[in-house]
Amino acid sequence: MKAYLLKEAGGVENLVLSEIEKPAIKADEVLVETKAISINPVDVKVRPHEAVLNMILGTEERPVILGWDISGTVAEVGADVTDFAVGDQVFGMVNFPGHGKAYAEYVASPASQLAQIPEGTTFEEAAATTLAALTALQVLTGRVKAGDRVLIHAGSGGVGHFAIQMAKNIGAHVITTSSAKNREFCMALGADEHIDYREQKFEEVLADIDFVLDGMGGQVLEDSLKVVKSGGKIVSLPTHTFPEELQAEADKLNVALEFVMVTSNGDDMNTLKGMLEAGILKPHVSVTFPFEQLADAHLQIESGRTVGKAIVTL
């Protein structure tokens, strides 16, 4: 089969399309013939850095196959698998954090991390509704309730566009930031208010926020602390450890700071399946690339200008 091998960290030129053996599956796994792959910011962040690669993948072995988000058709089932059969259409985030090996024509996945693709959902849409959607789901569940004032930064991005829809479905009042050109997109997703981050400083116009989803870090995280009310929460996706001064200020204001890393979870995938079926979630695929141009998908994500999701098709 064909797969992209990364022999060492570096630029997109280090992603080398190669011919390798099809993976063998364990008793609790299924072999998926890949139809679509989702590319995420984490993909492009780990690729250039050996230390980050080792941390996320949990291995120092090389070469590695990057990627976690797939949709496709079950080609083989392990001896202990009862939930899936050959021919089933499935989607999921494979072994994250860990070595997902998704940039390949065939992917071995634990059956417990997959869900059936609902009728009417394309392979591209299913692949889009994986890491980014799981992140939004796992962050919002138990932290946001009906009536909360919720601020979602970068609402037009992968995680953001799912988080707007989920928070609105919970019954929250949703405020989001993006550039002006993506305002209508964010409002159509269900946002109640939109702030053009280039023209307005959100920290000067907002107050009494119950929950902030921060996908940016840095100054955006610092400024978010200024708008959250006592007892509120901020989840920062890129900030693993919070600076001492920022943590001290948060403690003084009685605001909880939290880092959340998404994890593979089949129950959550089935929750997403239900949301797709009910029309609660509508994944937005703004650009697709053929498998032979996967490096271009990395460059697209690196641009920081992707609306919704970028997908690679096989």
Interval 126-165: pLDDT, tens: 999 999 999 999 999 999 999 999 999 999 999 999 999 9
Residues in the chain, pLDDT under 70: none
Sort residue 150 into left (φ over 0), alpha (ψ -120 to 50) or beta. Answer: beta
Residues 133-259: name the CATH superfamily.
Answer: NAD(P)-binding Rossmann-like Domain (3.40.50.720)
Q: Which residues pair with 33 in a beta bridge?
A: 73, 106
Q: What is the dihedral sign for C-alpha 162, 167, 171, 177?
A: negative
What pLDDT is stored for residue 227 in this prediction? 98
At the topology level, CATH places domain 2-129+283-313 in Quinone Oxidoreductase; Chain A, domain 1 (3.90.180)
Give the pLDDT of residue 179.
96
In this structure, which amino acid lies at residue 245? E
CA distance 309 to 158: 5
Per-domain residue ranges for the chain? Answer: 2-129+283-313, 133-259
The span from the CA of 212 to the CA of 193, in Å, is 14
pLDDT of residue 92: 98
